Structure 1
């Protein structure tokens, strides 16, 4: 029996999931980052290092050499992509440039051709271990090429301007453009940290404050096409001075992901900003959200700091209507609230006591029948119902669990994340 490579089976599932979403694959596709990460792992597996070890070989190092080995001129399109990746000022590492090049190749539908060209380039193919690698092992190579053929037939529409965090992660931030008319003073207080330019504060009455687009904690990635990645102190001011009197276009990297959570690769930098500047607050427009009172970092995950208010049985029906009775019943009990940490994971909710880390509850999404809050009063309070036996809902007894967030905005974020966790879960606000 021929050996199997589990990475290829996982990649196949990932491709099928992307196709199931329908339409062109964009950065919003929930399976894109996993697919890209798998491609990188496969292309990196079995890549042998040089004896001297001065430079650690990565995918980028053979990708950038591939056009130089092309004596027939068949890779002219790929040569342009290599030059584009090499010239990108937003990338500082070989890992980042390799990832950027893979995204460019997906957009152009040529990734399969690139790997085919490598196979016919013995000088570069020798970099791979013939036993453990995918590219150097003929038994693994054929099914991998078949999967690349499927990928090459798919439409990709990836934003290649959003590349400043590829050095650190395949998980991309929300990237938006802020345009403003010429003005005397924008009113943004900046802080240079980790080779990036953060917005620390907006001055009252300034243009940026009036526009209500830029938020403290956001990163200025570009000004009128000039990259500020790896910028030195004062460089943003120099660029703005040169553009004085002209319309301005800022490419911003948001601290918030689309689901309302903090973009994970920025967590340490935002923590450092808060330690340096105790008055610094992340803002969830229109009200500021204190960083230390709202979120907690644990094992690399961002957890919500909430108040657990209690729970109550609501009977044999678990629709959203029962929350209107369940929430007031819990509040009427006037139990002392417990400070808890809520981890909204991909498949389940996990709640622990903040101080003792004792498990309060753990529910998978199929166990949750509804989630929401009341429009009137208690707007930061939300609740969800769970069945004691979700496999037989006709005989289940439902329990309403009530929690309190720090704000209505945060409450809505959590409701949205829970509701999207499982398609049949009802939600309302």
Structure 2
């Protein structure tokens, strides 16, 4: 009987996509993020709990990668240096962020296959970290993964490794710019520290930073003269500037938008919201207006084409944050919370169950309300007490790793179609998580 895993198949698919750009693969490559996210899911799948002085806890793949680096196996110096580079990087703070940065560094250094090769050489080591039936715990699946990563070691990755500040949150890479400004005593910008990031809240229009919109309100100040700017930098900015007196100022800036259309970078949107500065929220509103105009244009074009749509016609009622647990027990609680909050909507939408996830689009203009992969959806269902409402819960990342979950609630009076939707979601779980 052949041995396979859906994540391995998906990773092979993204690898084939990268082959098309094998001469040089940069952060602008749209397939790179999907490849990296899929690889992360492969490394995360079926990790065994780790026992420490407090008790068992759910590990992250970073823990075993760091562990084998400490073992200093002969012939793997490139990988060991990559791990050390991650540990010294002040821009990543979580195991998730460190794993993502390590993957990017290893792609550039052509050593991504090395830790898997170590587990292949020492199978007993693999079973210390993974379930025997997992990708890295199974001898055959591990060899298949190794062959894919060896193929990737032949690609030419040209990635901006300085672009690491938001890897704790997402694989979506922001737009970054490196600037060299003339010597000056003051940059002419003001920042507020939100979630350990230096959010630019004001730019003096006569300052060197304002020239040609080099730095804009909503950007994140990432580095000054190779000094990483984070929560530890509070009160030290003037000292950093004084130290550079009479010298050109080197800045690394993360832009608040990711496209020329000024679509905002979502993690920075959250920083703006968390800042509590009302004037900053205007930036979000302006961007939303731009997106509405773009959506209207797309809607007008779509009306000229086919009038038929797939999926189910239901009503979207809104979303509720349910905390750190995404199990099915949260479904009824979430539905009642939304109904009692007085914030229930009734937006006509199309609910589509696709091959690798679901998409919910507004019927009036085909605008996407939510789009989740089955790997992010942790549960779905409805309650007997109010059968016309159903919901699914999704995490901010793969639900096995997620720490924040939201419930998306819908209303539909057709019992048969609701059953079909929930069954389709259930089949999606099985296809993505459990097929071997």
Structures share a fold, TM > 0.5? Answer: yes
Q: Which residue of 2 aligns with 1:200?
A: 201
Q: Which residue of 2 aligns with 1:271?
A: 273
Pairing of 1:401-412 with structure 2 (within 5 A): none
Q: 1:255 to 1:341 in 2, by over 3 A?
A: farther
| Alignment equivalent of 1:304, drawn from 292, 297, 304 | 292
Q: Which residue of 1 aligns with 2:10?
A: 10
- 1: CA distance, partners of 2:161 / 2:283: 33
Q: Which runs of 5+ in 1 are unaligned?
A: 282-288, 297-301, 318-339, 343-348, 353-358, 365-429
Q: Which residue of 2 aligns with 1:346?
A: none
- 1: CA distance, partners of 2:227 / 2:101: 18
| Alignment equivalent of 2:366, drawn from 359, 362, 366 | 362
- 2: CA distance, partners of 1:66 / 1:222: 31
Q: 1:247 to 1:55 in 2, by over 3 A?
A: farther
Give, in angstroms, the shift of residue 37 of structure 1.
1.0
SS for the counterpart of 2:118 is helix
Give, in angstroms, the shift of residue 4 of structure 1.
2.1
Q: 1:91 to 1:129 in 2, by over 3 A?
A: closer
Give, in angstroms, the shift of residue 303 of structure 1.
5.8
Q: State the Cα deviation string for residues 56-100 of structure 1 (Å, max 9, x = none).
A: 4211111112133345x2122222111111111111112211211
- 1: CA distance, partners of 2:298 / 2:134: 54
Q: Which residue of 1 aligns with 2:30?
A: 30
Asked whether the equivalents of residues 303 and 341 of structure 1 are also in contact (C-alpha less than 8 Å), the reply is no
| Alignment equivalent of 2:285, drawn from 277, 287, 292 | 292
Asked whether the equivalents of residues 201 and 280 of structure 1 are also in contact (C-alpha less than 8 Å), the reply is no
Q: Count matched residues.
A: 321
Q: Which residue of 1 aligns with 2:107?
A: 106
- 2: CA distance, partners of 1:151 / 1:99: 16
- 1: CA distance, partners of 2:162 / 2:110: 18
Q: State the Cα deviation string for residues 245-302 of structure 1 (Å, max 9, x = none).
A: 32101100111113531112222112233xx332336xxxxxxx74224428xxxxx9
Q: 1:138 to 1:312 in 2, by over 3 A?
A: closer
Choose 1 or 2 for highest CA Rg.
1
1:143 equivalent to 2:144? Answer: yes
Q: 1:312 to 1:70 in 2, by over 3 A?
A: closer
Pairing of 1:17-416 with structure 2 (within 5 A): 17-52=17-52, 53=55, 56-71=58-73, 73-122=74-123, 124-258=125-259, 260-273=262-275, 276-280=276-280, 290-295=283-288, 304=292, 352=362, 359-362=363-366
Q: State the Cα deviation string for residues 167-189 of structure 1 (Å, max 9, x = none).
A: 11111111111211112432112
Q: State the Cα deviation string for residues 305-334 of structure 1 (Å, max 9, x = none).
A: 779699999x999xxxxxxxxxxxxxxxxx
Asked whether the equivalents of residues 177 and 249 of structure 1 are also in contact (C-alpha less than 8 Å), the reply is yes
TM-score by length of 2: 0.65
Give, in angstroms, the shift of residue 124 of structure 1.
3.3
Asked whether the equivalents of residues 47 and 127 of structure 1 are also in contact (C-alpha less than 8 Å), the reply is no
Give, in angstroms, the shift of residue 159 of structure 1.
1.2
Give, in angstroms, the shift of residue 14 of structure 1.
0.5
SS for the counterpart of 1:269 is helix
Q: 1:225 to 1:311 in 2, by over 3 A?
A: closer
- 1: CA distance, partners of 2:227 / 2:127: 40
User: Which deviates more from structure 2 when the two are superposed, residues 249-258 or residues 239-248?
Assistant: 239-248
Asked whether the equivalents of residues 62 and 124 of structure 1 are also in contact (C-alpha less than 8 Å), the reply is no
Asked whether the equivalents of residues 26 and 157 of structure 1 are also in contact (C-alpha less than 8 Å), the reply is yes
Asked whether the equivalents of residues 306 and 341 of structure 1 are also in contact (C-alpha less than 8 Å), the reply is no
- 1: CA distance, partners of 2:300 / 2:229: 53
Asked whether the equivalents of residues 163 and 176 of structure 2 are also in contact (C-alpha less than 8 Å), the reply is yes
Q: 1:240 to 1:116 in 2, by over 3 A?
A: same
Q: 1:185 to 1:211 in 2, by over 3 A?
A: farther
SS for the counterpart of 1:110 is coil
Asked whether the equivalents of residues 47 and 131 of structure 2 are also in contact (C-alpha less than 8 Å), the reply is no
Q: 1:100 to 1:205 in 2, by over 3 A?
A: same
Asked whether the equivalents of residues 264 and 284 of structure 2 are also in contact (C-alpha less than 8 Å), the reply is no
- 1: CA distance, partners of 2:180 / 2:258: 21
Asked whether the equivalents of residues 49 and 56 of structure 2 are also in contact (C-alpha less than 8 Å), the reply is no
Give, in angstroms, the shift of residue 46 of structure 1.
1.4
User: Which deviates more from structure 2 when the two are superposed, residues 303-312 or residues 210-219?
Assistant: 303-312
SS for the counterpart of 1:153 is coil
Q: 1:185 to 1:87 in 2, by over 3 A?
A: closer
